[in-house]
Chains A and B, each alone.
Chain A
Amino acid sequence: MGKLIGYELRKQRTSRMVILILLAVGVLVFLWGILFKNDTTAGIALVLMFCSSMLVLLYTGIESILVLNRDLKTKQSYMLWMVPKSVWEIFGAKFISAILQMLFVFALYFAAGCICLLAAIYTAGGISELVDAIKMILEIAAEANLQDILSWSDIIWLAISIFLSWTEVIMIGFLAVVLSRTVLINSKYAGLVSVILFFVINWVIERGWSLIDSIPAIHEAGSFTLGYSGWYLMYYLVISAVLFGATGWMADRKLSV
């Protein structure tokens, strides 16, 4: 599966390079702005980088779904489907590479953010100021007793919930694309129907969780600050497994490229 993942990641390399270059330009413009005391330039660069982060992360996920669509629609599909790998390995590789792609983009933005922050503090007063700033942040955190507001377990739950939401979006996207290339293949509006299906399945899944969470015993189990519980985790894990199973099952029996 490692080789499949490698080739899947290769398909989105151009996007990664474009994001990397644009982000580097953004960081350089920001650095130029603070070095030459041009606050407007630095501010615009920072706002643009911040605003683009969610859009770029969203695009990264959508692109994984578009790549699958291309892998089923064009003649290049033969490259993937002629190899002696099961549909489970192929979809597994696609899913893992989609997650890796997102993590890579997230890491790029995190690194850019760190560079900008450190540069801003450093130019404001040098290394000693930077050390003082870090000390001050730690002291404030200790005084405010952040643990009472946001514990480590909450942060972990938040990361898990983002990961599960992402998994769910990609899985629904994969299922919608496979549906458009299998049961809807003869439909004139297969593409449109699959997009509608994407939103409908998403809504049904969210509604499902709302219904489960309305059960008092389950709702009260969400004892963490952010309201997540083991039920939430289990629900989305089961849903992701069901979506993956449905996609693979459909592809295994019906998919023709």
Chain B
Amino acid sequence: MLECRGLSKTYGAKKALKDLNLNLETGKIYGLLGENGSGKTTWMKMVAGLIKPTQGEIHYMGRPLGYKDKEEIAYMATEPFFYDWMKAADVGRYYQDFFGDFDMDRYRELLGKMGLEESMKAREMSSGMHAKLKIAATLARKAKLCLLDEPLNGIDYKAREEVVSIIVEEADEKNTFVISTHLLEEIESFVDVAVFVKNGELIRTADLEKERIMNGRSVRDIYMEIM
């Protein structure tokens, strides 16, 4: 569904991504793993259409990635990004206004599960609550490609379990999830393919089930070996 060819991104003298080639298949959950500053967020923002590659191409569903593909690609940034004036209800309305795949009922249900109320102001939320709000808004979309940048960061254990169960619930053979995280143990149980990125380069991709069955290795084992 998504093909990245020779992707590079340079910020001044710093190379955030170096000639990255990666193909994503429909119906899988990918774990994007790497140290801080390894290029995970840069890659996600490129696919979300927020930043332009310095070199290389991104093809989505066989055609060059364009702004209309944002109708099918959901991106959740790691930082708070809602407008200051927004309440949780406004966030829902905003998503409903711009994304045809947004399900308002599902959003309200997710807010409830996360312990949030529609009248809550995004600006006044704690970082954990804000993270939950971002997750609720993003996962209430029936996006074909869902990019979640550090979705489990800053939220309590119970909410983490909730987020993981929602991702598992939403994932099917028609969509694709990419989850960037440092919490290897948290994603071990539901991620199909781990993508390891280091210093802007794709080091390795690993089918986690195969690795477990054939080599008896967990995602943590592979991570510690190659990073």
Contacts and interface: CB of A to CB of B under 8 A. Distances in A.
A86 interface: yes
A82 B67 contact: no
B203 interface: no
Given A75-B77, A256-B51, A82 B70 contact: yes
Interface string A65-87: 00000000001111101111111
Contact of A3 (B79, B84, B97): B97
Given A3-B97, A7-B94, A81 B50 contact: yes
A135 interface: no
A217 B75 CA distance: 58
B39 to A, nearest CB: 14
Interface in A8-31: 10-11, 13
Given A3-B97, A79-B94, A186-B11, A255 B52 contact: yes
Contact of B52 (A7, A78, A82, A253): A253
B50 A82 contact: yes
A11 B82 CA distance: 12
B99 A257 contact: no
A254 interface: yes
Given A78-B50, A79-B94, A257-B51, A84 B81 contact: no
A13 B12 CA distance: 37
Contacts of A82: 48-50, 70, 75
Contact of B67 (A75, A76, A85): A85
A257 B48 CA distance: 11
Contact of A86 (B67, B69, B79, B94): B67
B97 to A, nearest CB: 5
A40 B109 CA distance: 61
B157 interface: no
A76 B83 contact: yes
A254 B70 CA distance: 18
B80 interface: yes
A84 B51 contact: no
Nearest to B13: A186
Contact of B81 (A13, A76, A83, A253): A76
B52 A10 contact: no
A78 B11 contact: no
B11 A76 contact: no
Among A7, A11, A79, A82, chain B packs the most CB atoms within 10 A around the CB of: A82
A84 B11 contact: no
B107 to A, nearest CB: 16
Interface string A83-106: 111110000000000000000000
Contacts of B94: 7, 79
Contacts of B45: 256
Interface in B62-92: 67-71, 75, 77, 79-85
A254 B52 contact: yes
Contacts of A11: 83
A254 B10 CA distance: 12
Nearest to B82: A79
Interface string B1-42: 000000000011000000000000000000000000000000
B153 to A, nearest CB: 15
Contact of A75 (B51, B80, B99): B80
Interface in A201-257: 253-257
A84 B99 contact: yes
Contacts of B97: 3, 7
B91 to A, nearest CB: 9
Contacts of A7: 94, 97
A150 B83 CA distance: 47
A87 B49 CA distance: 11
A13 B90 CA distance: 15
5 contacts: A77-B50, A78-B77, A83-B99, A85-B98, A186-B12
Interface of B: 11-12, 45, 48-52, 67-71, 75, 77, 79-85, 94, 97-99
Ranked 5 nearest A-B pairs via Cβ: A256-B51, A84-B70, A83-B98, A78-B81, A84-B71
